[in-house]
Amino acid sequence: MPSPSILGSVCSIAELGLMNNNPALVQSVFPGFSAEDTAQIDKALSIVEQATNATSRQASLRPKGIDVATILMAVHIDLETILAALLSDSRVVGQISEATIEEKFGATVASLVRDVLWLNKVSIYSPEMANEPNQSEILRRMLLAMTHDVRAVLIKLAYRIQRLRNLNREDLDIRRFIARETLDIYAPLANRLGISQFKWELEDLAFRYLDPEHYFGIVQALAEKRVQREACIQGFLDTLRQTLAEEGIAAKVYGRPKHIYSIWSKMHRKQLDIDELYDLLAVRVIVDTTTACYTVLGLAHSQWQYIPKEFDDYIANPKENGYQSLHTVVLDEQGNRIEIQIRTKAMHEFAELGVAAHWRYKEGSKFNAATEKNIASLRQLLEDKDNGDNLIENFHTELFSDRVFVLTPAGKLIDLIKGSTPLDFAYAIHTQIGHSCRGAKVNGQIKPLTYKLRSGEQVEILTVKNGQPNHNWLDPNLGYLKTPRAIGKVKSWFKQQQQAENIAAGKHLLDRESKRLGLKTVDLPDLLTHFKMADAEHLYEALGRGDINNRQLVAALKIPELEPAPPPIKLSAAKPNPQSTVTVAGIDNVVTTLAQCCSPVIGDEIVGFISHKRGITIHRSDCENIQHLPAEQQAQLVEAEWSGKQTARHTVPIIIHAFNAQNLLSDVSQLLAAAKVHISDASLKTHDDLSAILNLQIQIENAEQLSLVLARISQLPNILEVKRKV
């Protein structure tokens, strides 16, 4: 509720006229300012008086700016804030221009007035936001982001208090709307800025209009037991102070009041009656050291019975936001439950002066360095007006300088990073709206999709049916997209399209080759097993992407020929072949060819296959075609091994998967050149996410050299996998 100091300093409309050219009266209502400052206030009051006279139909009403300025005096605010509060009165609007305010009172006051007028006019809140906590939070952030100086928000809070004090003159629906908006938006803002006096009054007045039955019920319950409660606390404080003095512990000990809305919140949350609440009777102890904290705790527990489940050690186990204190509940001689909070001066300052951001402790928000800086500056300015001049430069709003807050046509708030465009906004609404976006209206005017949005603007997206993204949207130099979320959605769309194209191409390839081979049906399960694929879609995609080539597909599709066993073949010595490095069945210089399906190299374990048309073909022993030979053809296998000088070079296909295509081919080429390995063919395929697949045909002497080359390539930057292609 309003403190007597606030109510006592509010002047009447009659006194307003006497204030003009009456420094003594101005000084009595706005104490603590110099003669020069008082003259500035007098000048502002003169403008308010002239504006009031110009609107004589409302002259019987007290000017809002006067009440607001006196409310701000209770928290010891600076001169510029007082002047801005006076000049933000709705009756001054239109009577004096921003340029005139700047000329008479300076640029800072003019800027503050502009921000306060905007805050007073903003009408984004709707009762439905109460069911969407995220929307309320975005609106609170927007109010902070849209003001150039945090003090403007403080003035707005004072205007809201002034409105609530006179809310009984309004209709019931308006009273409930203003009260609900206060609890959802403005009381949390006051808490966030650390202005406890404002927070308590905002909450209590709003609660009074929203739920008068419970409000006055708590008021009556507190009034009935006020004397008893005060006597109980005073007796407890006297005993505690005496105990601490006897132990030589220097401490500040005082009662901690609870306001009405806080009492109701705890009753509602814990489903307790008012008599069952612990912290209606609460004491705080401030000491010099951490050791003293635990000493006081021990003394309290030895002096009074304590409730173990109500003990919390936030010194040894600080809250996530850094809050530290000892909390315990004890029973006095009469059985009253009294909560005690024990902390050092440093812990108290950390919690109370904003460094620990006490509002996060209440609301569970996360730490933010820029927020801490502004809250600490604001609270120091409020508590020490003499040092305010040194802090003004820190007052420009940095709380959400990296965000923009824009509205949908339905009034829903969208939180985006600074620099976001209408296209980012479209993707924030819905992925399909982003894909189909072809234009945008900002505040009713057509704007390009690269337009940089500003807080408070309303955006309407223009879409087409069955629209799809444009590749240009991913070009950072063109400025279509800023948010990683929207960029990711566009990349994902193109990746899915490429996947769909590969699947379609794979299906076409399988159909074409099966028809060419004269197959009426394809045994798909056998193909999946052969190529070790989970399902048909993966098989089609691998075919379309080229991971499975035509030769491999044909080999898998071809039905084994059930021909009679071939007559014995006499492996006699053939014409010497100086290039032959294979011994077949113990005989050298046999004419052989190396199989292309597995590309064996010297050092690989090999086996020969007797073919009627191509002679003896040499395969690797682990070649899939050899492993899957039908029983009828296994009789055509013969032993084979490497022989001779073994200086021949073999063409070996390898495949390299990389996270990033940049410099991939160059890096691999340089490595192979240094290893004296020749590249006979290369094919690089990149994807939208910049990953890449590099297929190479390299000339290798033996398996040992191949293993060494693959190991070196795997150590290059961005390499995901490198292997011999099967």
Range 650-724: architecture per CATH: 2-Layer Sandwich (3.30)
Range from 397-406, 593-602, 613-622 carrying the lowest mean pLDDT: 397-406
Instruction: Answer whether residue 355 shows pLDDT above 80.
Output: no
Tell me the C-alpha distance between 712 and 653, whole Å. 16
Tell me the C-alpha distance between 389 and 33, whole Å. 14
- Please state the domain extents for the chain: 4-210, 222-367, 403-482, 493-557, 582-642, 650-724
* Tokens representing residue 344 in the block: 């050092």
pLDDT band at residue 341, thresholds of 50, 70 and 90? very high
One of 1.10.3210.10, 3.10.180.10, 3.40.50.720, 3.10.20.30 is the CATH number of 4-210, namely 1.10.3210.10
Q: For residue 78, what are the contacts with CB-CB under 8 A and spacing of at least 6?
A: 151, 381, 385, 388, 392
pLDDT band at residue 62, thresholds of 50, 70 and 90? low
Domains 222-367 and 650-724 share a fold: no
Higher pLDDT, 119 or 726: 119
Per-residue pLDDT at 501: 81
Query: What are the residues facing 640 on neighbouring strands?
Result: 584
Which H, E and C letters describe 85-146, residue by residue? Answer: HHHCCCCCCCCCCHHHHHHHHCHHHHHHHHHHHHHHHCCCCCHHHHHCHHHHHHHHHHHHHC
DSSP secondary structure of 418-481: TT--HHHHHHHH-HHHHHHEEEEEETTEEE-TTPPP-TT-BEEEEE-TT----GGGG-TTTTS-
Most confidently predicted of 338-352, 425-439, 674-688: 425-439
Per-residue pLDDT at 239: 92
What's the predicted TM-score (pTM) here? 0.51
Q: Which CATH superfamily is domain 403-482 in?
A: Beta-grasp domain (3.10.20.30)
Query: What are the residues facing 617 on neighbouring strands?
Result: 593, 609
Most confidently predicted of 250-259, 398-407, 554-563: 250-259
Instruction: Answer whether residue 245 shows pLDDT above 90.
Output: yes
pLDDT in tens, 667-677: 888 888 878 88
Q: For residue 291, what are the contacts with CB-CB under 8 A and spacing of at least 6?
A: none
Range from 39-43, 260-264, 377-381, 444-448 carrying the lowest mean pLDDT: 377-381
The single-letter code of the amino acid at 261 is Y
- Fold exhibited by the domain 222-367: Beta Polymerase; domain 2 (3.30.460)
* Tokens representing residue 155 in the block: 């003035």
CA distances from 498 to 249, 476, 503, 535 (A): 75, 22, 9, 18
Q: Contacts for 215-224 with beta carbons within 8 Å, 24 or more apart?
A: 215/260, 215/264, 218/260, 218/263, 218/264, 218/274, 219/260, 221/274, 222/260, 222/263, 222/274
pLDDT in tens, 125-144: 666 665 666 666 666 666 66
